[in-house]
Amino acid sequence: MIRGALALARSSTTQGPAQAALDAGGSAADAVIAGFFALAGQDASVLLSPVVAIVAGGGAGARVIDGRSLQPGKGAARPRGWKTEKEIPSGAYVAVPRSLGLIAILHAARGRSGLGGLARAGVAAAEAAGATKRAALIKRVGSAGPLALASEEAVSALLAAGGPVAGGILTAEDLESAMPEDVPARTTSLGADVSALSVPWDAPLGRLPVADAILACDGRGLLAALVVVPTRREQGVLVPELELVLGRHAQPVRRGVPRTSPGAPLDMPAPLAIVGKSGFYAAVALLGKAGVDVAALRPLAEGWPAETAVAELREKSGALTAMALLRDARDARSLVSTGDATARASDEP
């Protein structure tokens, strides 16, 4: 057990590997990566889903790694487009994944443990689910990072699901050029030495899927927050060769409708933020929301206790679940508020 090192996720099967990474001396970045792999082993839609991460503290600066999926179609002629929504095939909704690139950047910049070790829980979870092909892919990601998708087998499988043969516009050029962006976080002053960090783009409008999140802090003061967008199997696009499910995130080309440019980031919920004041920090995720109104986070910067503040934040924001990981110079604590408007607390293990 390392003082001040704590991970938080909605399920114990995700939180456990994240906490184990911290207990082994890994960084907060290692913890959210381990949690991501564990979730990807359990859920076929996670490994190539849209992902965004925020890291701050511990001398790391305040950074956002943007792993939103991209609109496909690079290097391809513009298709004629579909006349009606009913005739659009599932393959036309397949976007360009950047999740594995995000994991590679996050690990290279902030990781302390080996990527292969962080992937083990995901491999085990996939094997336990009987998904041996997915387990093998996660293992390859642990050893080769995003290059695991560069194999002929993987590229062929993804193009079969989202390329022209499936009615989509995904190309090999899309997959080759799909690297995330590592950009400064948006900093918002909330007055009286309180500031909030969030993603540097506005929350998208419209109906969006519900995201999941993993939060972590380590003994060196680094905080990391990662949000991922799973897809229900029956709503996604199957890739049987890899035992994966792809989300329906791309914008199909429609006749008479302006085309979304190939390579453009696609909307996803990113309800993450970090608020801090004088050495006290809180990483927050509001599941069920598209983003975070950082002005509402000010009460969380006032220190312990924070159960009421988290419950009120969930209630006022309308989030399905509010997750908060609080950290001062010595200790860490996690809080979760669900629909009953109460906060469940957990001190560091």
Q: What is the pLDDT of residue 345?
A: 47
Query: CA dihedral defined by 197, 199, 204, 207, rounded to 10 degrees?
Result: -80
**CA 250, 230, 314, 196 torsion-angle sign:** negative
Asked if the structure places residue 76 within a domain, the reply is yes
Mean pLDDT, the chain, rounded, equals 93
CB neighbourhood size of 72 (10 A): 28
Tell me what the mean pLDDT of segment 262-268 comes to. 96
Q: What is the pLDDT of residue 287?
A: 97
Q: What is the pLDDT of residue 1?
A: 61
Asked if the structure places residue 136 within a domain, the reply is yes
| Total domains in the fold of the chain | 1
Q: What is the pLDDT of residue 341?
A: 45
**How does residue 340 score in pLDDT terms, banded at 50, 70 and 90?**
low
- The answer to whether the CB of 225 falls within 8 A of the CB of 213 is yes
Asked if the structure places residue 233 within a domain, the reply is yes
Structure tokens at 204: 């998208």
Percent of the chain with pLDDT over 70: 97
d(CA 119, CA 270): 24
Residue 239 has pLDDT above 80, yes or no: yes
Q: What is the pLDDT of residue 346?
A: 47
Tell me what the mean pLDDT of segment 26-55 comes to. 98
Q: What is the pLDDT of residue 192?
A: 84
Contacts of 237 (CB under 8 A, 6+ apart): 90, 91, 93, 94, 161, 162, 166, 245, 246, 247, 248
Asked if the structure places residue 279 within a domain, the reply is no
- The answer to whether the CB of 46 falls within 8 A of the CB of 138 is no
Residue 67 has pLDDT above 80, yes or no: yes
**How does residue 278 score in pLDDT terms, banded at 50, 70 and 90?**
confident
**How does residue 66 score in pLDDT terms, banded at 50, 70 and 90?**
very high
For 118-153, b where at least 16 C-beta lie within 10 A, e where not — what string? bbbbbbbbbbeeebebbbbbbbbbbebbbebbeeee
Tell me what the mean pLDDT of segment 194-204 comes to. 96
Structure tokens at 76: 């391809």
Helix (H, G, I), strand (E, B) or coil at 311: helix
- The answer to whether the CB of 331 falls within 8 A of the CB of 3 is yes
Tell me what the mean pLDDT of segment 305-319 comes to. 92
Asked if the structure places residue 334 within a domain, the reply is no
**How does residue 348 score in pLDDT terms, banded at 50, 70 and 90?**
very low
- The answer to whether the CB of 93 falls within 8 A of the CB of 168 is yes
Residue 178 has pLDDT above 50, yes or no: yes
Q: Which segment of 161-165, 255-259, 331-335 scores lowest on mean pLDDT?
A: 255-259
Query: CA dihedral defined by 284, 290, 296, 298, rounded to 10 degrees?
Result: 30
CB neighbourhood size of 78 (10 A): 10
Asked if the structure places residue 17 within a domain, the reply is yes
**How does residue 98 score in pLDDT terms, banded at 50, 70 and 90?**
very high
What is the helix, strand, coil percentage profile of the chain, to 5? 35, 25, 40
- The answer to whether the CB of 168 falls within 8 A of the CB of 89 is yes
Q: What is the pLDDT of residue 220?
A: 92
Q: What are phi and psi of 26, to 5 degrees?
A: -75, 170
Q: 172: domain range?
A: 6-186+207-268
d(CA 278, CA 270): 26
Structure tokens at 26: 């890994």
Tell me what the mean pLDDT of segment 5-23 comes to. 97
**How does residue 327 score in pLDDT terms, banded at 50, 70 and 90?**
very high
d(CA 287, CA 221): 25
Q: What is the pLDDT of residue 339?
A: 77
The pairing of strands 63-67 and 280-287 is unpaired
Structure tokens at 198: 């969030």
Structure tokens at 98: 């950047």
**How does residue 84 score in pLDDT terms, banded at 50, 70 and 90?**
confident
Q: What is the pLDDT of residue 347?
A: 47
d(CA 227, CA 334): 17
Q: What is the pLDDT of residue 302?
A: 83
Residue 263 has pLDDT above 50, yes or no: yes
Asked if the structure places residue 34 within a domain, the reply is yes
Asked if the structure places residue 171 within a domain, the reply is yes
